[in-house]
A and B are shown apart, each in its own frame.
Chain A
């Protein structure tokens, strides 16, 4: 291999820089899964130069670079965007997920915004750089800190926000969950999952172990039907099939009362944990399939999730407990995300309240 001097290397690197401005050499790199270590936080040393103009929610100090958010600065620092040549650029998956959620919250018709803290408050008062808030109901504001602060007491945030709020700081990968679930609530007039239940001699029943697993095309167990599904390409079908099933921990705890005489099954609500109770409050038993007689040992049953009929705040707790929509974005959707990012950075100056 030909050895290059430092001068020759520099000249070649300069040429590369020029070359990368051309479409064929420009483009993209999702880095966040390329290694065994995760990039968890942006560098706070650059935080005060974030594109746009902001007022710190804590101290009221102004920060930000002052200019309007633009593609180039976002590329270099915090977010994902489609560059001038139409390439997808991913530079920070955590921001990606934040934007995802705000966008889906807004799409779902809920107020959502980001509050910011300046770097002094982040460092000195150990506050999160961003607080993601959305209005889940009139009674409850749900607040999420970014980056995720594992194991920290949530009272800290509660104090910052200064409102009566149900607050929980939870791991990053659940952000995605909440947005998708909110969206699905609004998209669906009902939401149905089919389960097999095992009947007990004492007239009670529980969801069969065989149903507590991912959807199986062969036997149909775990299949669901959601109206108004917006996207139906192959890849998203896969995502949906695999995505929205696994709150198994709660499902395992559900108990049913079986009335064979009247051919009815209903959920037992007494003596359940708060988590299960919250779940029960927004679901109902739907159709029952199979022979429901004295000999029956199992049935198939639909459970409906009916967002219009119950207080949303209960549902919000469900996504905290682990729904996964398995959403993925490609192509045009990224442009939508970037548009949302620009919009959010443009309007979220820390002024006003939700």
Chain B
């Protein structure tokens, strides 16, 4: 069977941050993968995906840079013709790693959840290092994304939170509104209201316009909550879910999931062709997960009613309401 164009590889469950918004399912509802796959198995996976139509791989975790063999595996993917991305909190990123990334055109997505509130969000006092990484990447010709999880705690400093990484050299901005899941299930008070989500969009648009940069909102938003969708020129906003359609996830033990948020392990990668008949997978492929509250809505063609896996984790079903409408 053919797979989505992007494979997200959760190469390890280890992490050196303790982010309050972390959505990794093993931080809450499911146990941590016991045995992580070795270098060779990851290479086998990458090969298998290549023959099934995948063209982009994004390495993440946990914290992907904690694996010593990350460069070897990334290099393997690059040489097979993949475009490679790396999502990181930056703490273990070294100059040597950046020098490795640059010729392979790896796009580095660095988490910056707050400036003043960075430690409060991550448990680590590391903002200076993270910002210096953007500088160093710019100097070394590595393209960067400032990956900002927006919560109730950092909304007040969002203008700074977006501006400062840009001033340090970030090429692009990715906003992820906080969604319950993983460790985040213990911190649901961080959830933004609909008004706060709109405030987030307005602030981001104004910074991006000022800096002449583009960005987008990673977590899909229900179209109906966006008060004035026509006003956003620099900020792209998605309202449909890409899980199983544009991307899919392989966890550290080789389990296949539709998305990072998902607690559902569908099969092992060695049985990946079984996805073609997997009901959960097909539900995402066919978009058969629309919430009841969306019945009769005119925007169903362009909107999935928000994040389906966040609805699943927080409200019990993939066709439940997005958490922005409340948690049951």
Contact = CB atoms under 8 A, between A and B. Distances in A.
B200 to A, nearest CB: 16
Interface stretch (B34-42, B185-193, B207-215, B313-321): B207-215
A59 interface: no
A322 B1 contact: yes
Given A40-B240, A40-B245, A123-B298, A17 B211 contact: yes
B163 A173 contact: no
Given A151-B285, A151-B286, A36 B60 contact: yes
Given A173-B53, A326-B81, A43 B237 contact: yes
B150 to A, nearest CB: 14
Interface centre among A4, A36, A46 (most CB of B within 10 A): A36
Interface string B260-301: 100000000000010000000000011110000000001111
Nearest to A11: B210
A45 B235 CA distance: 12
A326 B51 CA distance: 8
Nearest to A17: B212
A328 interface: yes
A126 B301 contact: yes
Contacts of A16: 166-167, 211-213
A182 B4 CA distance: 21
Given A43-B229, A123-B299, A238-B81, A37 B145 contact: no
A281 B238 CA distance: 42
Contact of B163 (A13, A149, A322): A13
B210 A171 contact: no
Interface string A198-224: 000000000000000010000000000
Contacts of A35: 58, 87, 109, 145, 147, 174, 176, 218
A171 to B, nearest CB: 6
Contacts of A127: 301
A289 interface: no
A263 interface: no
Given A34-B174, A126-B300, A151-B285, A41 B50 contact: no
B2 A242 contact: no
Contacts of B53: 173-174, 176-177, 322, 324
Contacts of B207: 13
A148 interface: yes
Contacts of B58: 33-36
B167 A33 contact: no
Interface string A10-53: 10111011001000000111111111111111111110000000
Given A13-B166, A34-B172, A242-B47, A43 B236 contact: yes
B107 interface: yes
Contacts of A45: 229-230, 232
B50 A242 contact: yes
Interface in A300-341: 322, 324, 326, 328
Nearest to A324: B53
Contacts of B242: 37-40
A129 to B, nearest CB: 9
Interface in B1-37: 1-6, 8
A316 to B, nearest CB: 16
B213 to A, nearest CB: 8
A197 B132 CA distance: 59
B170 to A, nearest CB: 10
Nearest to A30: B107
Interface centre among B50, B81, B172, B300 (most CB of A within 10 A): B81
Interface residues of B, number: 81
A245 interface: yes
Nearest to B288: A151
A27 B298 CA distance: 38
Contact of A20 (B8, B87, B127, B212): B212
Contacts of A29: 107, 143, 145, 171-172, 214
Contacts of A123: 298-299, 301-302
B64 to A, nearest CB: 12
A6 B206 CA distance: 12
B216 interface: yes
A45 B232 CA distance: 9
A93 interface: yes
A36 B64 CA distance: 14
A246 interface: yes
B240 A9 contact: no
A12 B218 contact: no
A261 B299 CA distance: 66
Nearest to A173: B5
B160 interface: yes
B71 interface: no
B245 A149 contact: no
Interface string B87-120: 1000000000000000000010100000100000
A172 B207 CA distance: 32
**Which 6 A/B pairs are nearest by Cβ-Cβ distance?**
A38-B242, A38-B246, A151-B286, A33-B56, A17-B212, A45-B230
27 contacts: A4-B160, A9-B163, A12-B167, A17-B210, A20-B211, A20-B212, A20-B213, A32-B6, A32-B56, A36-B60, A38-B245, A40-B238, A44-B302, A76-B233, A124-B298, A149-B301, A151-B288, A171-B285, A172-B5, A173-B3, A173-B246, A214-B48, A238-B79, A242-B47, A242-B51, A324-B2, A328-B55
Given A13-B211, A328-B55, 8 more contacts: A13-B163, A16-B167, A27-B171, A123-B298, A123-B299, A173-B53, A238-B80, A242-B47
Interface of B: 1-6, 8, 47-48, 50-53, 55-58, 60, 79-81, 83, 85, 87, 107, 109, 115, 127-128, 131, 143, 145, 147, 159-160, 163-164, 166-167, 171-172, 174, 176, 207, 210-214, 216, 218-220, 229-230, 232-233, 236-243, 245-247, 249, 259-260, 273, 285-288, 298-302
